[in-house]
Copies of this chain bind each other. A is one copy, B any other.
């Protein structure tokens, strides 16, 4: 039997291909919660995931970046590079990142496509008021008190994806139902072709 190349050997070992699921949305929309739910769901399906979480990035690979448009762009670039490395290693990378600008998300998508990595963009869509009421990290409260500037959704813009592969309305839809829909689409691309 001829030796398999790296990609084929990985796929044979894991039973699936690498892929990227990119969750974008306002702070408090539920991206990290859904990413962790999807991670558990994929592990239960014996598909190997890895979460690239915006807050963790800020403590690691992006610890020296701020929140200017340039730094946000660079943060998204690094998140995409990390997701690409994970997907090329054979994993399903789950990115949970506000990623407010459409152009930056498109650039990331272009890089995945250029390397033949299946990719889906998921819009985690909850109304700003709902996100602000949840405020799991207290960011809206800090911003309203004048202690935080440039919070996406308040005083920094968010550009919704015009054509997401999936839209999850976490203000209306139950968390488990959202995770289930995510899991279906993630399994579809990881087990495709």
Contacts and interface: CB of A to CB of B under 8 A. Distances in A.
Interface of A: 3-4, 6, 9-10, 13-14, 39-40, 43, 46, 48-50, 52, 60-61, 78, 81-82, 84-86, 88-91
Which 5 residue pairs across A and B have the least CB separation, nearest first? A50-B89, A61-B81, A9-B43, A60-B81, A89-B91
B86 A6 contact: no
10 contacts: A6-B39, A14-B48, A48-B89, A48-B90, A50-B88, A50-B89, A60-B81, A60-B84, A61-B81, A89-B91
A88 B49 CA distance: 11
Nearest to A36: B6
Copies of this protein in the assembly total 2
A61 to B, nearest CB: 4
Nearest to A3: B40
Contact of A82 (B39, B48, B85): B85
A3 B60 CA distance: 28
A40 B88 CA distance: 15
B90 A78 contact: no
Contacts of A9: 43
A13 B124 CA distance: 29
A37 B6 CA distance: 11
B6 A43 contact: yes
Contact of A61 (B14, B49, B50, B78): B78
A28 B14 CA distance: 33
B84 A86 contact: no
Contact of A85 (B3, B48, B50): B50
Contact of A10 (B6, B43, B60, B88): B43
